[in-house]
Copies of this chain bind each other. A is one copy, B any other.
Amino acid sequence: MRCEVVAIGTELLLGQITDTNSSWIGEQLALAGIDSLYQTKVGDNLDRIVETLELALSRSDAVVCCGGLGPTQDDLTREALAVVTGAPLVADEAMEEHIIGLFSGRGRPMPANNLRQAERPEGAAFIEQMPGTAPGLVCPLRRPGADGGTRELVLYAVPGVPWEMREMVLGTVIPDLQRRAGITSVIRSRTLRTWGESESGLAERLAGRIDHLDGQGNPTIAFLASGIEGLKVRLTAKAPTEVEADALLAAEEAEVRALLGELVFGVDDDTMESVVLDLLRSSGLTLAAAESLTGGMVGSRLCDVPGASDVFRGGVVSYASAVKHEVLEVPDGPVVTTDAAAAMALGVRRLLGADVGIAATGVAGPEEQEGRPVGTVCLAVVSDPPGGDGPVVDTVETRLPGGRRQVREFTVISLLGLLRRHLLARSS
């Protein structure tokens, strides 16, 4: 089973919008065991859309068209599907009513153009999921095969709006493709999020496991370096049923976790931010952050997580050295040191009345500072252990690679990673 992706829209060719949908669909197809050998972008031109779809159907069994389903005259995907399937466009009354209802429910007048979206090529069906106002389409068609037989083909059309597209692809396109391909097996994947070891270091730790899996081919392990998001280890398993696939994944996850230990900070959509906020919340602790080179990025990322406010009190951005000394009471002297980081963490904890203080100071570049090279970063975490008699301070000095932006981003995840280890040690 081969499926191509055709992204439709002149703005994609002109570079006004970057086509990220095709990449995402390509990933879902790969995960579902369906080959995708070509992906094409074409503008809002009926002849060229039709020509592109015909070419795709000549070499693949299915095509996902993305975009061109809006209500304007520029939106030509419906017309192109009608041409390719040889069926006239018909107005679907039930869909017309549904669209009219959507607008009246929001108390907005419906532009007459929007009824164009209720048209479908005769014989085509609407995609069940419809999170926006643009319906998606499934258009089965038949073509003569080279062997004199009949090729059963299918065209899907989904909107270019990413969240609408994703819901339709996951809800209808992928399951329908798998059914047509006779893929009765289920493919499931799980991503272990790691931090604290390089890609080659991870590969070394997992070498025995990878060799073992290479022999049997299922499950599989893949790595993906994702900058400030850490390093991802993706496990993929295939089985006749979801339950069996999940069992394979769970068994493999246990093997990998045994080899990686505390390097694994989360699973799938977990982020280092959400993980440390959850750890703090479950311990009933509040947090304050003192930031120098990151300039507020640690706080900003923590606040990306809805509900951060019950744990994160705030912080001080002590970009100028004077602010470190005056506001955070860091003793006079150099500020790119673990001592300065510890004093910042203690200072911000005291000033904001938080249970836990974290701090980062360092050299983001472009120039060195206090004779320390670009990439030098000092981190600190402080908290009072339960029943202890004074604050415990963990500090780290490290040297991060890359330019200004990369150093600052790695500082954020490094500091949050240190906080995580501190909290784990505290509670064990």
CB within 8 Å of B: which residues of A? Answer: 12-20, 22-28, 30, 36-43, 45, 48, 52, 55, 224, 286, 289, 291, 293-304, 306, 308-309, 312-320, 322-323, 326-327, 351-353, 364-366, 404-405, 408
Contact = CB atoms under 8 A, between A and B. Distances in A.
A314 B303 contact: no
Nearest to A316: B316
Contact of A13 (B37, B45, B224, B326): B37
A23 B12 CA distance: 7
7 residue pairs, one from A and one from B, having the closest CB atoms: A296-B296, A295-B303, A15-B27, A296-B299, A297-B300, A15-B23, A314-B317
Contacts of A322: 313, 353
A56 to B, nearest CB: 11
Q: Which of A308, A309, A314, A352 has the most CB of B within 10 A?
A: A314
Nearest to A306: B366
Contact of A39 (B20, B40, B289, B353): B40
Given A17-B23, A38-B41, A314-B316, 6 more contacts: A14-B26, A38-B40, A296-B297, A312-B320, A314-B320, A316-B317
A27 B16 contact: yes
A28 to B, nearest CB: 8
Contacts of A13: 26, 30, 36-39
Contacts of A319: 299, 303, 308-309, 312-315
B15 A30 contact: yes
A45 B59 CA distance: 15
A118 to B, nearest CB: 27
A323 B351 CA distance: 9
A36 B426 CA distance: 59
Contact of A41 (B22, B303, B317): B22
B38 A48 contact: yes
A405 B303 CA distance: 10
Contacts of A323: 313-314, 352-353
B38 A42 contact: yes
Contacts of A37: 13, 42-43, 45, 48
A14 B40 contact: no
A189 to B, nearest CB: 13
Contacts of A55: 55
A264 B174 CA distance: 47
Contact of A299 (B14, B295, B364): B295
Contact of A296 (B39, B291, B318): B291
A23 B18 CA distance: 6
Contacts of A313: 319-320, 322-323
Contacts of A286: 320
18 contacts: A13-B30, A13-B38, A15-B25, A16-B27, A17-B23, A37-B45, A38-B41, A38-B52, A289-B317, A291-B296, A296-B298, A296-B315, A300-B408, A304-B404, A308-B319, A314-B319, A315-B317, A322-B353
Contacts of A301: 295
A22 B18 CA distance: 8
A77 to B, nearest CB: 16
A263 to B, nearest CB: 21
A262 B116 CA distance: 41
Nearest to A19: B23
A312 B317 CA distance: 10
Given A18-B23, A352-B327, A309 B320 contact: yes
